[in-house]
Amino acid sequence: MRTDNHAKRILLGISGGIAAYKAPLVVRKLRNLGADVVPVLTQNATRFVTETALQAVADNRPRTDLWDAEAEAAMGHIELARWADAVVIAPATANVIARLAHGIADDLLTTLYLATTAPVFVAPAMNVRMWEHVATQRNLERLRDDGVTVLGPADGEQACGEFGPGRMIEPDEIAEKVTAAISTRVLDGTRVLITAGPTREFLDPVRFISNRSSGRQGFALAEAARDAGAEVTLVAGPVHLSTPTGIERIDVVSAQEMKDAVTQRAPDADIFVSVAAVADYRPHTVHDQKLKKSQQPSTDFRVALKENEDIVGSIAGVEPRPFVVGFAAETENPLEHAREKRRRKCMDAIVVNDVSDAAIGFDSSDNAVTLIHAGGEMGLPKMRKGAIARRLVDEIATLYASAGRGS
Ligand code: CTP
């Protein structure tokens, strides 16, 4: 089992209903959001989903049996119950809900439920009549009284052909709800301003200079900061991403527009995270009409450029100012360049990634970064951009607090 000190540790209980075939997806979604997941299957669950599939996606050995001497020797069930930051049971059948409600501990999953002090979430999945049965509703009421969070179920067509409530809510919804509920609110009460995406610098009405930034890392950071309790304003360049709920989004196109939006809002921000890949230059002249090839030289056509103002530098260089974190995408000597950039732009911290590696960076959903600050450097290995974001938010919150700015 990996010993990642910061990742949220989740025991994913899987009970024996048809929705168990979605359990590997639940594991993946949780891991995408930065969690370390140990699947725990009931005997009946093993009829619907294989341990091999779960092992592959979780990268942790699934547990099924209270009496597995080898697994118990590696980590006993009481230790496992203590290890968890949360227990999620998805799908939760009517039977497992009944056993949990009555404190019956007759297998590994139900024993772990009694032994843990971590928050517990259940995502029910069953036939609509079973869901509506007074016994099931009574058991759920009891679980709610015991502090268990019930996620769903959703309405719709069921595997048995009936319609109505009883479908397990979708894996991404489960992962998001659980992660949001257990994320430590390290940024409670803070206002965070984030820039994301590229900028476009127009040459004429149809042509522009831009870059490959997708905006995904900035958007992931905005979500992670929101989940950590911050009030988030996201200034976004042109990107194909939907606005995360609970976040104020301001769309801009050019570096100048981005600078104006940031300058206006920075005085209200406690933390400014400049993730945007701001174009360094813009065309000297922006033509009103589309440039005609016939009017240009056929060889050696030149476009005069002028430098854009440095947004992060303009914010970091003037007191009073928010806590400032920059980003740097580099293709060579990433650490050296980033250290120099941090000093030059007076940033409190900088996050650097090596975009020459195609497996991380621009178009990838993964990233690997190093966070550099005055007191040291910390590398985060390749993981989902969402996971990187959560880890960075934790680190930024710690740095912000130790700079005497946070709580
Ligand atoms: N940045 C900014 N305004 C600019 C250019 C960059 O705020 N006009 C910010 C970016 O959002 C990022 C940091 O500065 O947080 C570093 O960006 P980068 O383009 O790597 O820095 P440059 O100084 O432009 O360095 P390079 O010569 O490598 O392009």
Ligand 1 atom, smallest distance to 307 CA:
8
CA of 233 relative to ligand 1 center, distance in Å:
20
Please report, as a single letter, which amino acid is at residue 29.
K
CA angle 181, 185, 190 (to 5 degrees): 135
Using one digit for the tens of pLDDT, what is the confidence trace for 112-146?
999 999 999 999 999 999 999 999 999 999 999 89
CA of 310 relative to ligand 1 center, distance in Å:
7
> Which residue lies with its CA nearest to atom 12 of ligand 1?
327
Ligand 1 atom, smallest distance to 195 CA:
11
CA of 345 relative to ligand 1 center, distance in Å:
9
Mean pLDDT of 278-289: 97
At 336 the pLDDT is 97
Dist CA 104 CA 111 (whole Å): 8
* Range with the largest mean pLDDT of 4-13, 65-74, 76-85: 76-85
| Catalytic pick among 56, 135, 160, 374 | 160
Dist CA 65 CA 40 (whole Å): 9
Pick the closest to residue 109 from 10, 9, 13 (CA basis): 13
At 3 the pLDDT is 36
Pocket mutation for ligand 1, best pick of 201, 312, 333 (most atoms within 8 Å of C-beta): 312
Mean pLDDT of the chain: 93
- The yes-or-no verdict on residue 54 having pLDDT over 50 is yes
- The yes-or-no verdict on residue 45 having pLDDT over 60 is yes
- The yes-or-no verdict on residue 2 having pLDDT over 50 is no
Dist CA 309 CA 103 (whole Å): 64
Pocket mutation for ligand 1, best pick of 341, 352, 371, 372 (most atoms within 8 Å of C-beta): 341
DSSP string, 89-152: EEEE-HHHHHHHHTT---SHHHHHHHH--S-EEEEE---HHHHHSHHHHHHHHHHHHTTPEE--
At 68 the pLDDT is 87
At 319 the pLDDT is 87
Could you tell me which residues come within 8 angstroms of residue 335 by beta carbon, excluding any fewer than 6 positions away? 352, 370, 372, 377
CA of 314 relative to ligand 1 center, distance in Å:
11
At 343 the pLDDT is 96
Write out residues with Cβ below 6 Å of ligand 1: 255, 274, 276, 278, 280, 308, 310-312, 326-328, 341
- The yes-or-no verdict on residue 5 having pLDDT over 70 is no
> Which residue lies with its CA nearest to atom 6 of ligand 1?
278
Ligand 1 atom, smallest distance to 344 CA:
23
Tokens of 77: 């069930």
Are the C-beta atoms of residues 126 and 154 closer than 8 Å to each other? no
Of all helices (H) and strands (E), which one includes residue 220? helix 216-227
CA of 284 relative to ligand 1 center, distance in Å:
19
Query: What band does 73 get if pLDDT is binned at 50, 70 and 90?
Result: confident
**pTM (2 decimals)?**
0.73
- E strands, 153-275, are 154-157, 163-167, 191-196, 201-202, 208-209, 231-236, 248-251, 271-274
Ligand 1 atom, smallest distance to 313 CA:
7
Are the C-beta atoms of residues 51 and 63 closer than 8 Å to each other? no
Could you tell me which residues come within 8 angstroms of residue 282 by beta carbon, excluding any fewer than 6 positions away? 201, 209, 254, 255, 256, 305, 306, 308
Query: What band does 397 get if pLDDT is binned at 50, 70 and 90?
Result: very high
Say what percent of the chain tops pLDDT 70.
98
> Which residue lies with its CA nearest to atom 21 of ligand 1?
328
- The yes-or-no verdict on residue 296 having pLDDT over 80 is yes
CA of 354 relative to ligand 1 center, distance in Å:
14
Say what percent of the chain tops pLDDT 90.
78
Mean pLDDT of 150-156: 94
Task: Based on the residue annotation, tell me whether 160 is a catalytic residue of this protein.
Answer: yes
- The yes-or-no verdict on residue 406 having pLDDT over 60 is no
Ligand 1 atom, smallest distance to 308 CA:
8
> Which residue lies with its CA nearest to atom 28 of ligand 1?
330
Could you tell me which residues come within 8 angstroms of residue 154 by beta carbon, excluding any fewer than 6 positions away? 165, 167, 168, 169, 170
Are the C-beta atoms of residues 227 and 245 closer than 8 Å to each other? no
> Which residue lies with its CA nearest to atom 17 of ligand 1?
328
- The yes-or-no verdict on residue 260 having pLDDT over 80 is yes
Q: Which residues of 51-84 are buried (b: 16+ CB within 10 A; e: fewer)?
A: beebeebbebbbbbbbeeeebbeeeebeebbebb
CA of 323 relative to ligand 1 center, distance in Å:
17
